[in-house]
């Protein structure tokens, strides 16, 4: 025992200390990597701002706008000259001379311009041919980010600042795209990429704008809402990528709308901790060796009497309640031995008393639960007949009363608590017919049971409260297309009875409340809870009800009891 205690303490201290240090190390490292991602986000933001600035310079140029509104086959050469001249001026005077960009414009009439040489049949990035056309049109002249457009004709994967050009009346006359190769953005952070790690720059839709993994550029690789839940408000998390654990960090730039992610293999991240881990293991082994020596020493002095006491307790655990404890050792162990002998004498007396009291309590509980169902059922049925009389439907009331008498005769004709499945199913048919009179046949019913289950016994009125609940609280009587099915089947050593309706259904929270915390003032709760309690009192906690329900899709209650021809004695549940 001492050895086990030492091992547990050493393991907890060693692993705990190492785990705390590792978490602290990862937290500090994630913080430093977040600072790096923040710098990448700032560079990416400047990259985006530059393209936006160029787009605004073109859009605000009166000459450009005049040509764009009047562009046709006659003046397109003049327009091309203007665009070439303006583009060269911006390349020469722009604040970021290293920014390599090109300009594309296409009019609604199909006239296209590109500041770079293009092959015959070039589509000029016509948004009307792209999936992002709706975003550009809906923006109403504002700039829209087109993440990493793959211009196969020019061999680039470009980030594009696209916008529609509007005339004075607000009609679209063309589309302007300012493009820059994504690799320029990649070069801004290529020097901070570590071995085995990957960096992704994404927009607010999770589309990768730039990445160290060039093959993913332009794809919607991340589900941003799911990632937000996974990060849980933090800027890093430990997850798995391609089957390997990785440190996943992020930084969100609110001005540009870009999020920068980095995934780094956890093995590479934790390389500096390997020496610390070796020291921790060595110290743990030395401490364990000392613990073994102490455990061996003390076990020889005090373990033998305790082991004898343990063996006697095992006899008690296996049912020997007449065990006596006779330990002759240190004073403390002798007193413990005498105290346990006295305790066992008290336990034997208490068990006898509790056994008798529990039998009486179970009988009272069963009678009380059965007493709840009977007046509840009688009240609802008589109320239904009264409603028929109030509506002057005397013939229906007479038929209902006849059925009610037949049902009562079946319930009260015998004092036996148990009935067969077949008897309970036939009683349910009469009850269904009675309720169909009341609701003017607003629902249909189906009752089936197989021969293997027909003679199996179950308590009286066990299924009826479930059917009553389906009629009164499940079926929408106004629709006129309700359906209730009751099917009893023998399944090996159990009987399964399913009560299903196509009514309003319940939420998962409502089902939990019905099964766990019923309100005794709510009759449907009372009926279901009552049935479940009766089953468990009769057969034990392994049996009972299961509810499957979805709002608007009905409810299915599955009742399971052991298959047998007689009720288990209450005394058997106490074992």
Tens-digit pLDDT profile for residues 7-44: 788 778 878 877 887 788 888 888 888 999 999 999 99
Contact assessment for residue 555 and residue 506, using Cβ atoms and an 8 Å cutoff: yes
What local confidence, expressed as pLDDT, does residue 554 receive? 92
- Rg over alpha carbons for the chain, rounded to the nearest Å, is 40
Q: How far apart are CA 206 and CA 260, in angstroms?
A: 10
Q: How far apart are CA 572 and CA 359, in angstroms?
A: 10
82 contacts: CB under 8 Å, gap ≥ 6 = 63, 64, 67
What local confidence, expressed as pLDDT, does residue 367 receive? 58
Topology annotation, domain 356-573: Heat Shock Protein 90 (3.30.565)
What local confidence, expressed as pLDDT, does residue 359 receive? 63
CB atoms inside a 10 Å sphere around CB 518: 18
What local confidence, expressed as pLDDT, does residue 165 receive? 93
Question: Residue 450 gets which letter from DSSP?
Answer: -
Q: How far apart are CA 182 and CA 164, in angstroms?
A: 22
What local confidence, expressed as pLDDT, does residue 501 receive? 93
What local confidence, expressed as pLDDT, does residue 574 receive? 37
Listed as ranges, residues in the chain with pLDDT below 70 are 2, 94-98, 298-301, 303, 326-331, 357-377, 410-415, 517-526, 566-575
CB atoms inside a 10 Å sphere around CB 174: 24
Please list the residue range(s) of the chain that carry CATH number 3.30.450.20.
61-182
What local confidence, expressed as pLDDT, does residue 183 receive? 86
Q: ∠446-447-451 over CA atoms, to 5°?
A: 140
172 contacts: CB under 8 Å, gap ≥ 6 = 108, 137, 164, 165, 166
Q: Measuring CA to CA, how many Å separate 229 from each of 30, 31, 236?
A: 18, 20, 12
Contact assessment for residue 169 and residue 61, using Cβ atoms and an 8 Å cutoff: no
Question: Residue 129 gets which letter from DSSP?
Answer: G
Query: pTM of the entire structure?
Result: 0.47
Q: How far apart are CA 362 and CA 202, in angstroms?
A: 66
Kind plus residue range of the DSSP H or E element containing 429 = helix 421-438
Kind plus residue range of the DSSP H or E element containing 334 = helix 331-390
Contact assessment for residue 489 and residue 453, using Cβ atoms and an 8 Å cutoff: yes
- For the domain spanning 61-182, the CATH number is 3.30.450.20
Give the torsion sign (CA, 127, 128, 132, 137): positive
DSSP codes, 223-290: -HHHHHHHHTT-SEEEEEETTEEEEEEEEEETTTTEEEEEEEEHHHHTGGGHHHHHHHHHHHHHHHHH
DSSP codes, 410-423: HHHS---SEEEHHH
- pLDDT tens digit string along 147-167? 777 777 787 888 889 999 999
Q: How far apart are CA 273 and CA 280, in angstroms?
A: 11
What local confidence, expressed as pLDDT, does residue 523 receive? 47
What local confidence, expressed as pLDDT, does residue 487 receive? 96
Among 387, 396, 540, 375, CA closest to 465: 375
What local confidence, expressed as pLDDT, does residue 569 receive? 46
Contact assessment for residue 97 and residue 164, using Cβ atoms and an 8 Å cutoff: no
What local confidence, expressed as pLDDT, does residue 484 receive? 94
Contact assessment for residue 537 and residue 359, using Cβ atoms and an 8 Å cutoff: no
Q: How far apart are CA 21 and CA 7, in angstroms?
A: 21
Q: How far apart are CA 384 and CA 395, in angstroms?
A: 14
Q: With both helix axes pointing from N to C terminus, report the angle between 2-59 and 76-93 in degrees, rounded to the nearest 10.
A: 130
Joined tokens for residue 16: 């705990």
Please list the residue range(s) of the chain that carry CATH number 3.30.565.10.
356-573
Q: Measuring CA to CA, how many Å separate 360 from each of 74, 356, 365, 415, 510?
A: 106, 7, 9, 20, 34
- The bridge status of strand 258-265 relative to strand 198-202 is antiparallel
Q: How far apart are CA 468 and CA 478, in angstroms?
A: 17
């Amino acid at each position: 025992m001492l050895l086990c205690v030492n091992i547990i303490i050493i393991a907890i201290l060693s692993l705990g200390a190492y785990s705390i240090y590792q978490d602290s190390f990862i937290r500090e490292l994630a913080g430093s990597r977040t600072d790096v991602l923040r710098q990448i986000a700032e560079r990416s933001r400047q990259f985006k701002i530059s393209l936006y600035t160029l787009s605004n310079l073109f859009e605000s140029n009166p000459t450009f706008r005049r040509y764009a509104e009047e562009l046709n086959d006659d003046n397109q050469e003049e327009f091309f000259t203007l665009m070439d001249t303006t583009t060269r001026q911006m390349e020469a005077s722009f604040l970021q001379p290293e920014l390599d960009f090109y300009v594309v414009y296409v009019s609604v009439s199909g006239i296209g311009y590109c500041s770079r040489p293009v092959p015959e049949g070039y589509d000029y990035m016509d948004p009307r041919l792209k999936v992002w056309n709706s975003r550009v049109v809906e923006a109403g002249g504002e700039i829209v980010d087109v993440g990493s457009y793959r211009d196969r004709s020019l061999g680039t994967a470009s980030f594009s600042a696209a916008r529609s050009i509007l005339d004075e009346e607000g009609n679209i006359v063309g589309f302007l795209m300012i493009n820059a190769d994504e690799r320029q953005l990649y070069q801004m952070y290529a020097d901070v990429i570590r071995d085995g790690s990957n960096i992704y720059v994404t927009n607010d839709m999770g589309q990768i704008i730039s990445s160290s993994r060039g093959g993913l550029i332009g794809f919607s690789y991340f589900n941003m809402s799911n990632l937000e839940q996974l990060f849980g408000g933090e800027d890093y998390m430990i997850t798995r990528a391609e089957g390997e654990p990785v440190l996943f960090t992020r930084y969100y730039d609110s001005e540009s709308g870009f999020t920068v992610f980095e995934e780094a293999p956890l093995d590479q991240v934790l390389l500096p901790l390997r020496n610390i881990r070796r020291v921790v293991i060595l110290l743990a082994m030395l401490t364990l060796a000392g613990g073994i020596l102490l455990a061996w020493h003390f076990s020889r002095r005090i373990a033998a009497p305790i082991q004898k006491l343990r063996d006697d307790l095992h006899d008690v655990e296996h049912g020997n309640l007449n065990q006596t404890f006779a330990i002759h050792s240190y004073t403390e162990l002798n007193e413990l031995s005498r105290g346990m002998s006295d305790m066992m004498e008290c336990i034997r007396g208490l068990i006898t008393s509790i056994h008798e009291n529990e039998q009486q309590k179970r009988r009272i509980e069963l009678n009380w639960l059965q007493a709840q169902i009977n007046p509840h059922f009688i009240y609802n049925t008589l109320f239904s007949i009264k409603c028929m009389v109030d509506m002057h439907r005397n013939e229906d009331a007479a038929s209902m009363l006849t059925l009610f008498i037949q049902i009562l005769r079946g319930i009260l004709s015998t004092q036996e608590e148990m009935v067969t499945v077949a008897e309970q199913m036939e009683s349910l048919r009469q009850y269904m017919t009675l309720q169909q009179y009341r609701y003017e046949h607003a629902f249909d019913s189906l009752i089936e049971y197989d021969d293997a289950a027909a003679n199996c016994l179950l308590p009286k009125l066990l299924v009826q409260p479930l059917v009553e609940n389906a009629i009164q609280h499940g079926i929408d009587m106004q629709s006129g297309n309700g359906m209730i099915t009751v099917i009893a089947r023998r399944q090996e050593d159990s009987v399964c009875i399913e009560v299903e309706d196509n009514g309003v259904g319940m939420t998962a929270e409502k089902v939990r409340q019905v099964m766990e915390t019923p309100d005794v003032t709510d009759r449907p709760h009372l009926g279901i809870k009552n049935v479940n309690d009766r089953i468990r009192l009769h057969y034990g906690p392994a049996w009972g009800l299961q509810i499957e329900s979805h709002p608007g899709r009905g409810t299915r209650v599955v009742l399971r009891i052991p298959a047998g021809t007689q009720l288990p004695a209450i005394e058997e549940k106490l074992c």
